[in-house]
Homo-oligomer: A and B are copies of this chain.
């Protein structure tokens, strides 16, 4: 009642009030051609007076563009995803676009659904960050019928994908392993989630080693601190502990370091730990965690720019595939075995 009472003022009201036709008002709104400066300002003024706001639905119906894009991520609460959501929103806003937020819960069905039902989403394009990455996703993307940007979380992608792809620094795992080997660690362990979720990070582990000692690999349930804690318990229980742990992300790394400390294992003297993501907590943990920045904000910004460009130029049929260089930041949790360790607390 109270809200409905708010009389909706339409373009027609403005036209009548200003003594012009509705076509002219439309031109005034959209900075269109063929209107004199004089009448434009007059119209703009009466628009102000009447508090007229163009009906977005009607505009969209005519123009077939909604000025909205969708962002589908696994879980807005996790790791660097807030950074990504932020960067996407900023970039979109700069171009007059709104962002609708979708959490797929890293769930294959939900990921497919968002691409399959993209038409129901009421958006001009989609940025999707697939985690589960179901097999039929590429096919669905290819026939989506709407521009799509993919923020790729490590999986190897089909080259024929009809979408722009920006990768979250695909060589981050290699960087970690090289670093650990370079500082003289020989029994390097891996702590992550199921092998197939962020496969490349695990593959980098295998790739860097001549031979994988299965007992040095811990697969937890997720990327959480808890997984790190459990991994530390597990490694501690081994007859011969690792002298380094490559953690699938910072959360796990921090969980590890913390639990190791509780268990009396010295980090980095006895065990070095390196994570991935380079989130702000790495500098807070004690010892501070070495980590690899996978350039989340930059990736997100670029993915957005590419999407918006494709929306503008629907005709192009060359698809970008971009990778950012990951950056290793060495902190306290990984030091060379050659250098004398700091005195233990």
A254 to B61, CA, bound (A): 51
Q: Which listed segment binds B: A203-211, A230-238, A278-286?
A: A278-286
Establish whether residues B103 and A89, one from each chain, have CB atoms under 8 Å apart when the complex forms: yes
Establish whether residues A120 and B281, one from each chain, have CB atoms under 8 Å apart when the complex forms: no
Establish whether residues B315 and A56, one from each chain, have CB atoms under 8 Å apart when the complex forms: no
A1 to B117, CA, bound (A): 21
Q: Output the least CB separation between A309 and chain B (Å).
A: 13
A71 neighbours in B (Cβ, 8 Å): 101
A103 to B71, CA, bound (A): 14
Establish whether residues B66 and A57, one from each chain, have CB atoms under 8 Å apart when the complex forms: yes
> Residue of B at shortest CB range from A82?
B77
> Residue of B at shortest CB range from A88?
B101
Contact of A314 among B2, B121, B224 (CB under 8 A): B2
In A39-70, which residues have CB < 8 Å from any B CB? 53-58, 60-61, 66, 68
A258 neighbours in B (Cβ, 8 Å): 284, 286
A61 to B58, CA, bound (A): 6
A137-172 CB mask vs B (1 if < 8 Å, else 0) is: 000000001110000000000000000000000000
> Is A187 engaged at the interface, CB distance under 8 Å to the other chain?
no
When all copies of this chain in the complex are counted, the total is 2
Establish whether residues A76 and B61, one from each chain, have CB atoms under 8 Å apart when the complex forms: no
A2 to B313, CA, bound (A): 10
Interface centre among A101, A224, A285 (most CB of B within 10 A): A101
Establish whether residues B86 and A103, one from each chain, have CB atoms under 8 Å apart when the complex forms: yes
A101 to B119, CA, bound (A): 19
In A252-266, which residues have CB < 8 Å from any B CB? 254-255, 258, 261
Establish whether residues A254 and B284, one from each chain, have CB atoms under 8 Å apart when the complex forms: yes
Q: Output the least CB separation between A289 and chain B (Å).
A: 11
A122 to B65, CA, bound (A): 13
Interface centre among A77, A120, A225, A286 (most CB of B within 10 A): A77
A2 neighbours in B (Cβ, 8 Å): 314-315, 317
Asked if A225 meets B284 with Cβ closer than 8 Å, knowing A85-B101, A99-B100, A100-B100, the reply is yes
Establish whether residues A86 and B90, one from each chain, have CB atoms under 8 Å apart when the complex forms: no
A219-258 CB mask vs B (1 if < 8 Å, else 0) is: 0000011000000000000000000000000000011001
Asked if A314 meets B120 with Cβ closer than 8 Å, knowing A102-B89, A225-B284, the reply is no
Establish whether residues B66 and A76, one from each chain, have CB atoms under 8 Å apart when the complex forms: no
> Is A75 engaged at the interface, CB distance under 8 Å to the other chain?
yes
A84-112 CB mask vs B (1 if < 8 Å, else 0) is: 01100110000000111111000000000
Contact of A53 among B83, B100, B120, B147 (CB under 8 A): B120
A122 to B286, CA, bound (A): 47
> Is A4 engaged at the interface, CB distance under 8 Å to the other chain?
yes
Q: Output the least CB separation between A3 and chain B (Å).
A: 5
> Is A214 engaged at the interface, CB distance under 8 Å to the other chain?
no
Which 7 A-B pairs give the minimum distances between C-beta atoms? A57-B60, A1-B315, A6-B145, A53-B119, A57-B61, A56-B122, A77-B82
Sample of 10 further A-B pairs with CB below 8 A, known A3-B146, A57-B58, A85-B85? A2-B317, A57-B57, A57-B122, A76-B85, A76-B86, A82-B82, A86-B103, A90-B103, A98-B100, A281-B284
